[in-house]
Amino acid sequence: MLKNIAIIMGGYSSEYQISLKSGSMVYDTLDRYKYTPYAIHIFKNKWVCVHENGEETPVNKDDFSILIDGKKVTFDCVFNAIHGSPGEDGFMQGYFKLLDIPQTSCSMYQAALTFNKRDLLATLKPFGIKTAESFYLNLGDTIDEDAIVEKVGLPCFVKANKAGSSFGISKVYKTEDLKTAIENSFEEDDEIIIEQFLDGVEVSVGVISYKGETKVLPITEIISENDFFDYQAKYEGKSQEITPARISEYYKDKVITEAKKIYEILKMSGFTRSEFIFKNDEPYLLEVNTVPGLTKESILPQQAAAAGISLEDLFANAIEEAIRN
């Protein structure tokens, strides 16, 4: 019997277009001898199943079902491909938990925690995970530029705290430019994080649950053509992503240990991609993504390919793990 798989994509954040590409890749790749995939677009004003002919069928939010030719279609599993809210911050995870429908990403608490950079870093600090010096601001707080610079130094990064990693981020070199960068971040979120600049090798480490085990994928080294790994670098080819990373065995062992430790401390499931920068021969954690990009060009699929895992196998394994757990 074929399993009905809802692939949720889109979302409410600035990254919705990337999510549509990720979801479409999953839709196109799934084995039709095992699964019947449905492309479900989730937007603030509509939740719809988009058919191959472009027609749309509304989703019944009461039980997450659709009607096709008068017949009710329910789902054996949801494949989560929404970057940002509501797919990466815990909302969809909580909704599907209440409906008792398996879904491929981590649980609600883990999603909410990792999406909030401030809370994630604070949670991991007692476990010895190293992070950059940071300063936090909520919308409406008095902005004391001198206090910020005293704590984090210059240059520094100004980021939205609870948005995807590509929007609302600036690299600031001069104190007088802080205000504009802070306003830019507040466009994306009502909380922001200002971080010390770490000058070192940047790597991305994929960790997944694969055949019942925690598996660390080959590491990717990131060399941005832009000033840092921003939206253009990440999604528009303005970076070199080298897998496996050209780092020493010492660095490799260190960052693999940290990435696996983070996955297990947080009791993660599904896909994660953690970003680190090496400083003084130690990996410093920048962030953890729980719904990473899934196009062929995206980092996690590149890493899976380097590990000998095809996209078809990567996606099918995520579904089977979700159903089994």
Is the C-alpha dihedral spanning 193, 198, 204, 208 positive or negative? negative
Of the given ranges (17-26, 164-173, 176-185), which has the lowest mean pLDDT?
164-173
* Tokens 């598996």 sit on residue: 215
Helix segments in the chain, DSSP class H? 16-29, 91-99, 108-115, 117-124, 145-152, 178-186, 231-235, 249-265, 299-306, 311-324
Give the residues across from 275 on adjacent strands.
204, 287
Q: What is the pTM of this model?
A: 0.92
Q: What is the pLDDT of residues 288-321, one digit of tens each?
A: 999 999 998 899 999 999 999 999 999 999 999 9
Is 226 a residue whose pLDDT tops 60?
no
- CA dist., res. 90 & res. 146, Å (int): 36
71-73/66-68 β-pairing: antiparallel
Rounded to an integer, the average pLDDT of 163-183 is 86
Mean pLDDT of 36-55: 97
pLDDT at residue 93, rounded to an integer? 98
Number of Cα atoms under 13 Å in the Cβ half of residue 192: 30
Question: Please, which pLDDT band fits residue 224 given cuts at 50, 70 and 90?
Answer: confident
> 202 pLDDT band (50/70/90 cuts)?
very high
Length of the chain: 325
Residue pointed to by tokens 């074929």: 2
pLDDT digits (tens, 9 = 90+) for 228-281: 544 444 445 567 899 999 999 999 999 999 999 999 999 999 999 999 999 999
- What single letter denotes the amino acid at residue 236? E
Percent residues over pLDDT 90 in the chain: 88
Please report the pLDDT score of residue 233 as a whole number.
45
